[in-house]
């Protein structure tokens, strides 16, 4: 992981602001998240978390995570913002995916940007690895940090291994 340098920070903050606007579109009842994928200073993919196809008929956010079978690894009904952004970029800009950077933000209960914790989503990290996303950017308490996607994937698996009982 590396802290985004001051000369990169202004552009990175503008992408985070775009991700915040996307997170406001989220219809998930648990969490509102947004993501953008950037290559060559252009946003090539956008996403927010909501049920597949934004169909509220698929919404199960009100079910407690403990109600799912233990083999269900993703205990939400929604597509993740990162997944949506990757699929959007693959549809609209497939040739630009390799070497791209994914920016992610989550909003708190008041709709304000929330600082990220440790990487933990292996679904998104594997998808990003498979499609050529080079880096994940998260907003931590000490600023914006970029993770090489391989490192993000490794840390996500380690986070989940430490939670297994």
Mean pLDDT of 63-76: 53
pLDDT at 59 > cutoff 90:
no
Q: What is the pLDDT of residue 18?
A: 98
Average pLDDT, the chain: 88
**140 compared with 164, residue with greater pLDDT:** 140
Residues 135 and 102: beta-carbon distance below 8 Å = yes
Question: Going from the N-terminus, what domains does the chain have, and what CATH number goes with each?
Answer: 2-163 (3.40.140.10)
Q: What is the DSSP string of 12-76?
A: HHHHHHHHHHHHTT---SS-EEEEEEEETTEEEEEEE-BSGGG-GGG--TTS-GGGS-TT-S---
Among 70-74, 100-104, 144-148, 152-156, name the one with the lowest average pLDDT: 70-74
Residues 50 and 60: beta-carbon distance below 8 Å = no
Q: What is the pLDDT of residue 93?
A: 98
| pTM of structure | 0.88
Q: How confident is the model at residue 165 (pLDDT cuts 50, 70, 90)?
A: very low
Mean pLDDT of 86-90: 98
pLDDT at 61 > cutoff 60:
no
DSSP state of 160: H
């Amino acid at each position: 992981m590396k802290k985004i340098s001051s000369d990169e920070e202004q552009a990175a903050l503008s992408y985070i602001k775009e991700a915040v606007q996307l997170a406001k579109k989220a219809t998930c009842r648990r969490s509102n998240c947004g993501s953008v994928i950037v290559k060559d200073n252009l946003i090539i993919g956008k996403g927010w978390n909501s049920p597949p196809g934004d169909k509220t008929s698929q919404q199960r956010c009100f079910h407690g995570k403990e109600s799912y079978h233990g083999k269900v690894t993703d205990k939400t009904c929604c597509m993740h913002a990162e997944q949506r952004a990757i699929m959007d970029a693959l549809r609209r800009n497939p040739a630009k995916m390799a070497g791209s950077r994914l920016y992610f933000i989550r909003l708190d209960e008041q709709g304000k940007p929330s600082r990220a914790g440790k990487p933990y989503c292996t679904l998104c990290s594997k998808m990003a690895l498979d499609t050529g996303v080079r880096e994940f950017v998260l907003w931590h308490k000490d600023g914006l940090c970029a993770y090489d996607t391989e490192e993000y994937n490794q840390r996500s698996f380690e986070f989940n291994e430490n939670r297994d009982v």
